Amino acid sequence: MTTPATHAQVSQAQAGAPLLNIKSRIERLDKLPPMPEMTQKIVQLNGNPDAHVNELVKVVELDPSLAAQIMRYATSPFFSYRGKVDSLHTAITRVLGYNTVLNLALGATAAKPFRIPRNVPLGLDAFWRQAVFSAAIAQALSAALPSEIRPPAGMAYLAGLLHNFGHLLLGHLFKNEFLILNKFISREPDKAVEEIELQVIGTDHGSIGAWLMKAWRMPEEVIVAAREHHNEDYRGEHAVYSLLILLTDRLLNAHDIGDASSSHLPLPVLEFLEIGEYQAVTIATRIMDDCENLHAMARQFAS
């Protein structure tokens, strides 16, 4: 039974004024969550043009769980590697590539410290499930784009992995408000998540995630993907990343994964990316046909 307080909350949110306007509270924060130490090590590697694969192996080996996930990902059938993946060095040099592993490690370690509830619509289970599948599909789609606009596979992967980073930060900084937001989303499952966020908290997860990423000096491409991935009309700098993730989210919606409000693939987005609808769906289906490895990765990251 709905309580009178909940009825009042619903009425206020529907009236147009945000129920829990946290935007001003975010702007007044004088202390941001620090970038995790391991993420700092990876960022340093990323900024070192002379870094060697052995240095990346040493950093990844500091986190056995991350190392295991990289090995698992490298054995996925969609990479079609016929040899034996018997070491991180093999996974990096012969299957995934240095940049993909670097960005997988960057995204995983950046998100790892944020502990939020697991079994709510925007909880940790949902975050990692969408993150892992989005990253894999974004990486595969990027390879199909024309060379003039094609993002590096590793950067497309990172954009997919972290585009919903704002949900983690929101749940970390504003636990009670996060739970209230999830109640509203549970009540209106067919309504766009970003629309409910604006009504309830006065901002959206894209803006929140981009805010922290900018403070952490994450790549601008990933910041744009986080901020604009629900915006079909964005055509500014690095639009290929945000539109690629928008497309990825819509493709995942057809498989009941993620927070996209529709599985419709907008024609202007397809035209901008110069990819056909059939081609995009085929690529996503190929990834989904081998989904057990990705589900296992998501469960491990969320645990």
Contacts of 268 (CB under 8 A, 6+ apart): 232
Based on the domain organization, do 230 and 262 belong to the same domain?
yes
> What three-state secondary structure class fits 110?
helix
What is the reported pLDDT for 22? 82
Q: Indicate whether 137 and 266 sit together in one domain.
A: yes
Positions of the chain with pLDDT under 50: 1-13, 15
Are residues 80 and 135 both part of a single domain?
A: no
H-run or E-run covering 101? helix 98-111
pTM over 0.75: yes
pLDDT of residue 181: 95
In a domain, 108, yes or no: yes
81 shares its domain with 206 = no
157, part of any domain: yes
Residue-level pLDDT at 286: 93
Whether residue 60 sits in one domain with residue 168: no
Q: So what's the pLDDT on residue 32? A: 78
Q: Read off the DSSP letter of residue 152.
A: P
What pLDDT score was predicted for residue 16? Answer: 60
Angle at 230 (CA atoms; ends 224, 236), nearest 5 degrees:
40
Query: Does 29 reside within a domain?
Result: no
**176-221 pLDDT tens trace:** 999 999 999 999 988 999 999 999 999 999 999 999 999 999 999 9
User: Distances from the Cα of 242 to the Cαs of 120, 141, 170, 174, 248, in angstroms?
Assistant: 25, 13, 21, 26, 10
Both 98 and 142 in one domain: the answer is no
| 2 within a domain of the structure (yes/no) | no
Looking at 59, 79, 113, the residue that finishes a domain is: 113
Q: Is 168 in contact with 114 (CB distance < 8 Å)? A: yes
Q: Are residues 144 and 184 in the same domain?
A: yes
167 and 39 in a common domain: no
Structure confidence at residue 247 (pLDDT): 98
Does 7 map to a domain? Answer: no
CATH number, position 148: 1.10.3210.10
The share of the chain scoring above pLDDT 90, in percent, equals 76
Residue where one domain finishes, among candidates 90, 113, 136: 113
The C-alpha atoms of residue 172 and residue 57 are separated, in whole angstroms, by 30
Provide the angle, in degrees to the nearest 10, between the axes of the packed helices 124-144 and 291-302.
Answer: 140
Domain that holds residue 103: 34-113
Whether residues 144 and 44 fall in one domain: no
Based on the number of CB atoms within 10 Å of its own CB, is 249 exposed (0-12), middle (13-18) or buried (19 or more)?
A: buried
Structural domain includes residue 24: no
Is 120 found in the same domain as 108? Answer: no
Residue 13 lies in a domain: no
Answer with the one of 78, 113, 148 that is the final residue of a domain: 113
- 109 and 164 in a single domain? The answer is no
pLDDT score for 8 = 44
Q: What pLDDT score does 39 carry?
A: 94
My answer on whether 173 and 187 are in the same domain is: yes
Q: Which residue's entry shows tokens 């009941």?
A: 256
Residue 11 lies in a domain: no
- Domain count for the chain: 2
